[in-house]
């Protein structure tokens, strides 16, 4: 008598595995195109993320930025130091916290590249209708809120 199990055979993977693989592939493609775009402006993905977060916020502290980017305080400190040397970011001590702002050069770069990056992302997702993009966002948000890191 043949014994049955609930585990899929190695040849028949669950749809979740295929979805995960496809999600990783799509992310990698978008990330590669984005990274190329950032390099044309002398940035990497992490620097763009910092620029976008500080540019979109008011009175952002270094600790809040680190939490928003999910990086360590040491990593964010090194990243900010480089961006300060490049004339993009200013840290000012207020009590026990470092408050962050963009320099005039950083603000100009923010205003130039953030809309371009958003247009690039919109172009890459254009094969999906607006309704499909909304549904994709809903599904990804649902996963994001239920997964533990």
List C-alpha distances in Å: 88 to 23, 39, 42, 82, 139: 33, 15, 11, 9, 36
- pLDDT per residue as tens digits for the range 98-143: 899 999 999 999 999 999 999 999 999 999 999 999 999 999 999 9
Q: Residue 98: which domain range?
A: 42-119
149 belongs to a structural domain: no
Average pLDDT over the chain reads 91
136 belongs to a structural domain: no
Q: Which CATH number do you get for residue 87?
A: 1.10.10.10
64 belongs to a structural domain: yes
End-to-end CA, the chain? 43
16 belongs to a structural domain: no
Domain count, the chain: 1
13: pLDDT confidence band, cut at 50, 70 and 90? confident
141 belongs to a structural domain: no
98 belongs to a structural domain: yes
Q: Which residues does 54 contact at the CB level (< 8 Å), separation at least 6?
A: 60, 65, 89, 100, 101, 102, 106, 110
60 belongs to a structural domain: yes
pLDDT above 70 coverage of the chain, percent: 92
Per-residue pLDDT averaged across 87-91, rounded? Answer: 96
Q: What is the pTM of this model?
A: 0.83
145 belongs to a structural domain: no
């Amino acid at each position: 008598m043949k014994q049955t199990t609930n585990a899929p055979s190695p040849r028949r993977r669950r749809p979740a595995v295929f979805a995960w693989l496809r999600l990783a592939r799509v992310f990698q493609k978008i990330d590669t195109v984005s990274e190329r775009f950032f390099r044309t402006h002398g940035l990497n993905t992490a620097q763009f993320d910092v620029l976008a977060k500080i540019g979109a916020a008011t009175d952002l502290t270094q600790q809040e930025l680190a939490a928003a980017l999910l990086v360590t305080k040491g990593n964010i400190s090194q990243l900010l130091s480089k961006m300060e040397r490049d004339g993009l970011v200013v840290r000012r001590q207020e009590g026990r916290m470092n408050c962050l702002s963009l320099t005039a050069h950083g603000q100009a770069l923010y205003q130039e590249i953030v809309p371009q990056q958003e247009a690039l992302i919109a172009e890459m997702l254009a094969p999906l209708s607006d309704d499909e993009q909304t549904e994709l966002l809903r599904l990804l948000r649902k996963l994001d809120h239920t997964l533990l890191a």
